[in-house]
Amino acid sequence: GCREGGGDMADSGKAEGLGGLALLGLVPGAPSCPHGPALLFVKTSQGREEGRRFYACSACRDRKDCKFFQWEDEKVSEARLAAREEYNRNHQPFFTHSQNVERYKNFVLLPLPKRRFCQECQQLLLPAEWEKHSDHQFLCNVSTAQLQSPSQLLYPLENKKTNAQYLFTDRSCQFLLDVIIDLGFRRVLSVGTPRLHEIIQSKASREEDFRVRSLLLDIDFRYSQFYTEDEFCHYNMFNHYFFGGEAARETCRKFLCQDNGQRVIMVTDPPFGGLVEALASSFKKLMAMWKETEKEGHNNQEMPTFWIFPYFFESRILEFFPTFNMMDYQVDYDNHALYKHGKTGRRQSPVRIFTNLTPSMIVLPVEEGYRFCAVCQRYVSSGNQHCEICNSCTSKDGRRWKHCVLCKKCVKPSWFHCSHCNRCALPSHACEKTDAGCFVCGQAGHKRSACPSLSRA
Ligand code: SAH
Ligand code: ZN
Ligand code: ZN
Ligand code: ZN
Ligand code: ZN
What distance in Å separates the CA atoms of residue 271 and residue 121, rounded to the nearest whole number? 23
Residues with CB under 5 A from ligand 3 (ion): 387, 389-390, 403, 410
* Residues 83 and 101 occupy one common structural domain: no
User: What does pTM read for this prediction?
Assistant: 0.89
In a domain, 262, yes or no: yes
Long-range contacts of 274-277 (CB under 8 A, 24+ apart): 274/3, 274/4, 274/5, 274/7, 274/15, 274/16, 275/3, 275/4, 275/23, 275/39, 275/58, 275/238, 276/4, 276/16, 276/313, 276/316, 276/317, 276/320, 277/23, 277/25, 277/320
Residue 456 CA to residue 296 CA, distance in Å, equals 73
Ligand 1 in contact with 149 (CB < 6 A)?
no
15 lines ligand 1 (CB under 6 A): no
Ligand 1 contact via 168 beta carbon (within 6 Å): yes
Neighbour count for residue 183 (Cβ, 10 Å)? 14
The alpha carbon of 112 and the centre of ligand 1 are apart by a number of angstroms equal to 30
If pLDDT is split at 50, 70 and 90, which confidence band does 449 have? low
The pLDDT tens digits for 212-239 are 999 999 999 999 999 999 999 999 999 9
Asked if 198 and 327 sit in the same domain, the reply is: yes
End-to-end C-alpha distance for the chain, whole angstroms? 59
Q: Are the C-beta atoms of 347 and 340 separated by less than 8 Å?
A: yes
Asked if residue 395 lies in contact with residue 409, where contact means CB atoms within 8 angstroms, the answer is no
Ligand 5 centroid from CA 419, angstroms: 7
pLDDT at 157: 85
pLDDT the model gives residue 17: 42
188 and 211 assigned to the same domain: yes
Q: Are residues 325 and 371 in the same domain?
A: yes
- Indicate the helix (H) or strand (E) that contains 41: strand 39-45
Contacts of 118 (CB under 8 A, 6+ apart): 124, 125, 133, 136, 137, 138
Position 375 in a domain: yes
Q: Identify any residues that bridge with 309 across adjacent strands, giving them in sequence order.
A: 352
174 and 301 in a common domain: yes
Ligand 1 close to Cβ of residue 257 (< 6 A): no
- In this structure, which residue's CA is closest to atom 18 in ligand 1? 163
Q: Name the residue type at position 214.
A: S
Q: What is the CA radius of gyration of the chain?
A: 25
CB 227 near ligand 1, within 6 Å: no
Domain assignment present for 405: no
Asked whether residue 395 is domain-assigned, the answer is no
Q: What is the mean pLDDT of residues 151-159?
A: 87
Q: Does ligand 1 lie within 6 Å of residue 243's CB atom? A: no
* Strands annotated E in 108-179: 116-118, 123-125, 138-139
**CATH number of the domain within which 255 lies:** 3.40.50
Measuring CA to CA, how many Å separate 86 from each of 32, 34, 370? 12, 10, 54
Q: How far apart are CA 2 and CA 69, in angstroms?
A: 10
Nearest CA residue ID for atom 12, ligand 1? 165
- How many helices (H) and strands (E) would you count in the chain? 10, 26
CB of 269 within 6 A of ligand 1: the answer is: yes
Q: Which of 219, 238, 286 to mutate to test the pocket of ligand 1 (most atoms within 8 A of CB)?
A: 219
Determine the pLDDT at residue 442: 58
In a domain, residue 343? The reply is yes
Task: State which of 163, 266, 351 you would mutate to test the pocket of ligand 1, scoring each by most atoms of that ligand within 8 A of its C-beta.
Answer: 163
Q: Are residues 25 and 132 in the same domain?
A: no
Q: What is the 348 CA–ligand 3 centroid distance (Å)?
A: 22
Neighbours of ion ligand 4 (CB under 5 A): 404, 406-407, 417, 424
Q: How many domains does the chain have?
A: 3
Residue 410 lies inside a defined structural domain of this protein: no
87 with 118, same domain: the answer is no
- For ligand 1, what atom is nearest to the CA of residue 238? 22
Question: Tell me: the pLDDT tens digits for 5-32?
Answer: 333 333 333 334 445 788 999 999 999 9
67 and 101 co-located in one domain? no
Judged against a pLDDT cut of 50, whether residue 160 lies above it is answered with yes
Residues 360 and 228 placed together within one structural domain of the fold: yes
CA–CA separation, 440 and 420 (whole Å): 11
Residues 234 and 281 in one domain: yes
State whether 81 and 212 are in the same domain. Answer: no
**Residues 117-137: what's their mean pLDDT?**
97
Question: How much distance in Å is there from the Cα of 237 to the middle of ligand 1?
Answer: 9
Distance from C-alpha of 394 to C-alpha of 410, rounded to nearest angstrom = 6
Q: How far is the CA of 64 from the centre of ligand 2 (A)?
A: 22
pLDDT at 443: 64
Q: Are residues 370 and 292 part of one domain? A: yes
169-211 pLDDT tens trace: 999 999 999 999 999 999 999 999 999 999 999 999 999 999 9
CA pair distance 306, 268, nearest whole angstrom:
6
Atom 23 of ligand 1 has which residue's CA nearest to it? 236
Q: Which ligand does the CA of 66 lie closest to?
A: 1
Query: Could you identify the atom of ligand 1 that is nearest to the CA of residue 167?
Result: 7
Substitution candidate for ligand 1 out of 162, 201, 237 with most atoms within 8 A of CB:
237
CA of 220 to the centre of ligand 2 (A): 18
> Is the CB of 418 inside a 6 Å radius of any atom of ligand 1?
no
Last residue of a domain, one of 382, 400, 424: 382
- Do 188 and 213 meet the contact criterion of CB atoms below 8 Å apart? yes
Answer yes or no: is the C-beta of 192 below 6 A from any ligand 1 atom.
yes
Q: State if residue 278 touches ligand 1 by the CB under 6 angstroms criterion.
A: no
pLDDT of 44 = 84
- Yes or no: say if 124 and 142 are a contact pair by the CB < 8 Å rule: yes
Q: Determine whether 198 is exposed, middle or buried from the number of CB atoms within 10 Å of its CB (0-12, 13-18, 19+).
A: buried
What residue type is 307 in one-letter code?
Answer: W
Residue 218 beta carbon below 6 angstroms from any ligand 1 atom: yes
Does 334 sit in the ligand 1 pocket, CB within 6 Å? no
Q: What is the pLDDT of residues 277-296, one digit of tens each?
A: 999 999 999 999 999 875 56
Tell me the backbone φ, ψ of residue 214, rounded to 5 degrees. Answer: -135, 145
pLDDT-wise least confident of 123-127, 157-161, 258-262, 414-418: 157-161
- Is residue 425 domain-resident? no
Please, which residues have CB within 8 angstroms of residue 119's CB and are 6 or more apart in sequence? 136, 137, 138, 139, 155
**Domain residue limits at 104:** 97-142
Whether residue 58 is contained in a domain is answered as: yes
